[in-house]
Chains A and B, each alone.
Chain A
Amino acid sequence: MSNDKKELSANALAVANRIGSLRDFLAFLEENGQCVTWEDEVFPEPDIRNVAVAAGRDAANGPAVIFNNIAGYPGKKLVLGVHGSFTNIALLLGYPKGTTVKELFYDIISRWGADKPLLDFIEPEDAPINENRITDNFNLYDLLPLYRINEYDGGFYIGKANVVSRDPRDPESFDKQNVGIYRIQVQAPGEFTLLSIPAHDMGRHIIAAEQLNVPLKISVMLGNHPAMCMFAATPVGYEESEFAYASQMMGSPMRLTKSGNGMDILADSEMVIEAELINGVRSFEGPFGEFPGSYSGVRKIPRFKVTAISHRNDPIFENIYIGKGWTEHDTLIGLNTSAPIYAQLKQDFPEVEAVNALYQHGLTAVISVKNRFAGFAKSVAMRALGTPHGTMYLKNLIMVDDDVDPFDLNQVMWALSTRTRADDIIVVPNMPLIPIDPAAEVAGKGHRLIIDATSFMPPDKLGSDSKIVTAPAGPEIDALAKIIQMLQNGEKS
């Protein structure tokens, strides 16, 4: 994507230099009216869930919410919704409130890469995360204000941890070291289960450790730099470092240090839980309300025991509300799901204009493409299904022309209304699919639906196709729209 690269704006650099941690970002959000503190006493259930859902209703501008008065947890702090709106993402990238999702998409594309990491390594004794160290008598229920996220979850979940693990077959490799978000259910004061599958990097590490019968040590980072969370949730290549991607996106160095068990961790996170896989053991886990908006059921999954915990003074527990969309999960992961699919398509098909895979991690996506010849969009759709993320996630694909903004659903619906024909629908049955699709008849399998909503071109039969109206567009119309907005707001033009 070298042709998409551009220099960061002065504002983006200023924001990047200012934000080195979750705390820095919360202060910045607060200054911009995007972080509020809930001072009234809340009970862990159902109050936290209720406030989180209410705050998350506004995907455009909803704020992060800090809870500092949780019954039974005096002095503890919890924050939800840090990535809960596109305005919060825009502020992180140095843009103002009101920046469109499409603008953010192109900005993230321009920053995409791991070839120029900006990482500073500092000594563990100098790292704020090591202000406090616990080496025995662990009690996660006491250290963290834990609660049930959805009413039928099987327990109390840590839903936004960034988990670092190294490949037991190549433990010295920095690039094969993985940082990912996996759901963690606390199972005892010093033990938890962690859900991964063989398709995940972490799953590969678990399998390798059990095959080799060697310890798998992990570091669970909580309350992290906001860019780290975005890349821990991004499907990057197995031998690519999420730390490198996160720092390169920000354009400013991220500070790393070593955890007590040898992982590279962020020096300024709120807490790190060091743990070790209990080889060969599987425990009941779930249900858990997952991102498609349905519960994934009870399973037996790998279990870990805590070996040490480090944390800052007065640590802030960052968690996420996840469930029936729209939720923070969609905003956190949406643009970073879209960007790699775009990058992979663009290599073969420069005609691809944009990819909107915001919906449930890409279970539905809209791709805009300039048709090179009749039927071309269908070939691009097939290629999208073969991308690493597409293989398991892209279930419904809507292909639109390059004159349609895939992030503007009014325009997408216009394309569906006016450019689809009965024989332009392709259904590919019996394909692999993530096991938690609630529509699946067999978990792990599903269909692919491609709707070609691009225009026909020769040698297609054009029939009675009418000519499309050329609506006035461009900077002149944009300026007029701004004047109208000012008139509406009672401002002088």
Chain B
Amino acid sequence: MSLCPRCQAAEDKLRIEHKGLNAKGELVWTIFHCTSCSFTWRDSEPAISIDYDKREAFFRVDPSKPYPVIMPPEQYK
């Protein structure tokens, strides 16, 4: 496992979610989740989705920046 393909978070921010096995019980792929930017991916996906350098820069996420909050809880208190 390397960095998050979307926000480049380090390994300690990444979680193994699930391993997909075939009928013989052999590993086919693994699903990961980034706890920093909430990106989820499978290691068998095409590079355009899971390789930081091949992904369009437009879709990068920097969790330290502000993002819109839907129905901000404090607004309705």
Interface set of A (CB-CB < 8 Å, partner B)? 43-46, 71-75, 139, 141-142, 147-148, 151-152, 154-156, 185-189, 193, 195-198, 203, 206-207, 210-211, 279-280, 282-285, 287, 295, 297-302
| 23 CB < 8 A contacts A-B | A45-B45, A71-B44, A72-B28, A74-B22, A147-B42, A151-B46, A154-B6, A155-B41, A186-B40, A188-B17, A189-B17, A196-B71, A210-B73, A210-B77, A282-B70, A284-B37, A284-B63, A297-B68, A298-B37, A299-B67, A300-B69, A300-B70, A301-B70
Q: How large is the interface on B (under 10, 10 to 19, 20 to 34, 35 or more residues)?
A: 35 or more
Least distance between B64 CB and chain A CB atoms (Å): 12
Cross-chain contact B71 with A197 (CB below 8 angstroms): yes
Cross-chain contact A187 with B38 (CB below 8 angstroms): yes
Task: Report the nearest A residue to B40, measured CB to CB.
Answer: A155
Task: Report the nearest B residue to A151, measured CB to CB.
Answer: B49
A211 / chain B contacts, CB cutoff of 8 Å: 76-77
Q: Name the one of B42, B46, B67 contacting A300, with C-beta atoms under 8 angstroms.
A: B67
Cross-chain contact B18 with A71 (CB below 8 angstroms): no
Q: Name the one of B18, B45, B46, B73 contacting A139, with C-beta atoms under 8 angstroms.
A: B18
**Most chain A C-beta atoms within 10 Å of own C-beta, residue among B20, B49, B77:** B20
**A301–B73 alpha-carbon span in the complex (Å):** 10
Least distance between B75 CB and chain A CB atoms (Å): 9
Task: Report the nearest B residue to A207, measured CB to CB.
Answer: B76
Q: Name the one of B6, B17, B71, B77 contacting A302, with C-beta atoms under 8 angstroms.
A: B71
Q: Name the one of B67, B68, B71 contacting A198, with C-beta atoms under 8 angstroms.
A: B71
Task: Report the nearest B residue to A186, measured CB to CB.
Answer: B40
Cross-chain contact B49 with A152 (CB below 8 angstroms): yes
**A421–B59 alpha-carbon span in the complex (Å):** 43
B61 / chain A contacts, CB cutoff of 8 Å: 284, 298
Cross-chain contact B44 with A43 (CB below 8 angstroms): yes
Q: Name the one of B33, B49, B67 contacting A298, with C-beta atoms under 8 angstroms.
A: B67
**A301–B70 alpha-carbon span in the complex (Å):** 5
**Would you call B11 an interface residue if the criterion is a C-beta within 8 Å of the partner chain's C-beta atoms?**
no
Cross-chain contact B71 with A44 (CB below 8 angstroms): no
**A139–B37 alpha-carbon span in the complex (Å):** 21
Given A71-B29, A72-B22, CB of A299 within 8 Å of CB of B59: no
A279 / chain B contacts, CB cutoff of 8 Å: 73
Least distance between B9 CB and chain A CB atoms (Å): 12
A187 / chain B contacts, CB cutoff of 8 Å: 33, 38, 40
Task: Report the nearest B residue to A281, measured CB to CB.
Answer: B73
B46 / chain A contacts, CB cutoff of 8 Å: 45-46, 151
